[in-house]
Chain A
């Protein structure tokens, strides 16, 4: 469903943290594996 962004992405040298699917991990920490949404079963 999603389309390619129509804009040029600007990013820094380090991974920028985001929240996805209700989970907000801290990059570079032991909680990082929690960012894998595929491991989270759908709840709908």
Chain B
């Protein structure tokens, strides 16, 4: 009997390549499942803060953030965002950078850990990414996060208490420390079965291949 392949994914909410990479990874899993119908894939998301110095209430657009806060040329930023929007569209995602509310994602990561405990982490991750990149929702405030959490079945009161008490802050810190120990500097980053690493929003074929390699390695060891 084959055991499940565990995939640990480090990513951030404010990370367009993480959202695109999520879609490409999901397609890779679909292809892997076609060739390995007896295998299952378990996914767990881990926290990574791309810009921990970002204020919760950043006043300005994404262009402002990258141009002013990061010191990048405005025209280059605009071109980068246009290209990113096109790439997102290629995997069926509708990015709206004009509406995007740039914010600190530490609280959103804490919410993802609560969602993991309650068994709805995947739903919460997808909801947060869509809220951030497509709907222009603020994902840094407790109330807005609780609204989104309730949509995936989490108890609003529990969410607010967990965010206020920072119940899952240690888990977020542990994820970030683990990423550092792995030498992860950019996201998304995928670790398959604790044996194989995949960096970046790779093509679905790369994910399918990596899963296949992990499955073969597991069978050799069995």
Which residues of A pack against B, CB within 8 Å? Answer: 1-12, 14-26, 29-31, 34, 39-41, 43-44
Contacts and interface: CB of A to CB of B under 8 A. Distances in A.
A10 B210 CA distance: 6
A41 B71 CA distance: 8
A12 B20 CA distance: 16
Nearest to A41: B71
Contacts of A11: 198-199, 202, 206
Contact of A12 (B53, B70, B205): B205
A17 B17 contact: yes
A34 B83 CA distance: 14
A20 B185 contact: yes
A16 B124 CA distance: 25
Nearest to B188: A18
Given A18-B186, A22-B50, A24-B16, A29 B79 contact: yes
Given A31-B79, A41-B71, A20 B182 contact: no
Contacts of A17: 17, 20, 200-201
Interface of B: prevailing SS: mixed
Interface of B: 12, 14-18, 20, 50-51, 53-54, 65-66, 69-72, 76-77, 79-80, 83-84, 87, 180-189, 191-192, 194-203, 205-206, 209-210, 213
A18 B187 CA distance: 5
A7 B195 contact: yes
A14 B24 CA distance: 14
Contacts, number: 120
Given A10-B213, A26-B83, A18 B17 contact: yes
Contacts of B180: 1-2
Contacts of B203: 12, 14
A16 B80 contact: no
A4 B78 CA distance: 35
A19 B116 CA distance: 24
Contact of A25 (B51, B80, B194, B195): B80
